[in-house]
Structure formats: C-alpha cells, structure tokens
Amino acid sequence: MRYVKQSFEEISIDDFYCKIALVAHNCYQVNKDKNQKIFVNRLLGFKHYAMIEHKVFVAKIDSNTYRQLIDLYNRFIVLATNNDDFYCAFSLRPLLEAYESNNLGILADLINILPSDVQEIFADFHMGKTTSRLLSAEEIDRLPRTVYDKVKYVTIKLITDRGVSHELVRHRIASYAQESTRYCNYAKDKFSNELTLIEPLDYQENKAVYDCVFGQIEQKYIELVNRNVAPEMARALLPNKLKTSIIITANVQEYKNIFALRCDQRAHPDIRDIMIPLRDYFVAKNYLVKA
C-alpha cells in the first residue's frame, strides 16, 4: 500500500490517432499500441465512441452551414458567432453516427475539411466542395473571448481519488476516460501488487487509523483476487481514497462552471485541493482571464 498526492497534467496532443489512443489506454492502464491507428480503428469497430469525443476539431463555417447545424441540436457540435463570422467545434461522434445511419446531410461538409488520414475512416465518402475550413491552434487562440470560451477545448489528466472523480463526472457537458476498476487488477505486478491511495488531507493526524483500515482492505482485496475472484467483483472492497486516473475534455466555458462550483468554500476539501491549482494553471495559460 502506498500514498500519492493529487496532481494534474494537460494533454496537448494534436494528432487524432495519438490522442485517442492515449485517452483510451488510460481506462485500462496499459502501454500504447505500436500502431495507434489500428487500435483506434478497432475502437471505432466496437462503437466505443466515448473515447472519440476527446479530439475536438474547430472550423470556420458559412452562415448557411451554421443555420443547418443549429437545427441538429447535437450536444457534440458547439456553435459560436462573432458579427458575420461563424464557428463550429465538433468531435467525430456525430459524424460517425450520421454516417452509419446514411443520414449525413450538412455533416458531410465537416467531413470534407478533416485531415486526410482521418477522412479515411469514412471509407466510401465522396469529397465535395466546401467553404468551411479547420482552424489552427494559433487561430483559435486569437478568437474573441465570446467565441474562444465555446470552441477552445482543453484535455486534462487528473490523478485523484474515487470520491473526487464521482463529483467531477457530475459535470455533464464534458467527456471523460477513467481508470477502470473492472479491468485493472491491482494484485498484479504491473500495479506492484498493492493499492495506491490518495493521501488524506488529515493523514498525519490520523495516520494509524488510515493505515490500519486501508491495509486490511488491500490484504482482503488481494486475497479475493488470489481466490480467482474477478477484479470487477473484488472492487466491492475498494475505498473512495483509491487513486484513479481520469481524463476530462471540455471547453473553457464548462471549465468556468466547474471551477465556480468546485473551488468554492462550500465544496469538499479534497476537490478544492486539486481544482484550485488547476484553475490557477488555466489562468497562467491564458485559458481563463483572472477575475
């Protein structure tokens, strides 16, 4: 049994296949496949689209495309305007779902502007003309704040505990990929045959109690697994303080909501302990303007 502190890091990979592979592997805590493209295509074959949400493309579109996209009311397509300029942030999820049902409509316009290696996913799709175009990261950063907050997506990997992650996923306008206690077997060598826990904020004052209880849980968890109880059943013993790795992708507008609620004095001390430093990071990176 060991304790670690909460921490976070930004995942700023731009390549579609590299990013989706990294995010998906977080769920199973496994090393990357050598061929990430094959792995991601396998995810697509299983319709495991939750992972695909973590790569968001941003495009400048015309007024006609904008009006038609509004009518779709799709939560994975975020629209913004500034004077006579129109913008769209989207993941592949709505495109794939419409493609499978042979009902692309205006979404065909978005496939037209995808990078060529991503377009290959839509095997028999015939390219057409479009006035839309993808924006570079630099172009996104220069957008007016009213647009930027909606189309600027940030992916963060947090090392936290299960109690905090349960609260975090209540923020529904976001995408998540979390370490799975169903498939991760903490009695195996890859996890050093032990449980990793987030150190309680009051650990020094109550060390004896925490060490005793968590030590017994670890012992009994390993005992169950050694008796051929599946990890997904043995996880019934695992505590809220179990370390988890969770990746969140959301736009700046949603992060503002998260910080407003989770940095507040009334929020749980554990979630404040990770969210306040993360908010400070967003300010330092200019994702947020300091109030």
What gap in Å lies between CA 271 and CA 8, rounded to an integer?
Answer: 12
Give the C-alpha distances (Å, rounded to integers) separating 78 from 95, 217, 250, 279, 286: 13, 44, 11, 23, 21
Length of the chain: 291
Nearest by Cα to 253 from 187, 156, 185, 173: 173
The residues assigned a catalytic role are: 262
What gap in Å lies between CA 105 and CA 95, rounded to an integer?
Answer: 10
b/e 113-136 (16+ beta carbons within 10 angstroms → b): bbeeebeebbeebeeeebebeebe
What gap in Å lies between CA 241 and CA 165, rounded to an integer?
Answer: 10
Contacts of 9 (CB under 8 A, 6+ apart): 156, 157
User: How deeply is 271 buried, as exposed, middle or buried, from its count of CB atoms within 10 A (0-12, 13-18, 19+)?
Assistant: buried
Are 35 and 227 contacting, i.e. CB atoms less than 8 angstroms apart?
Answer: no
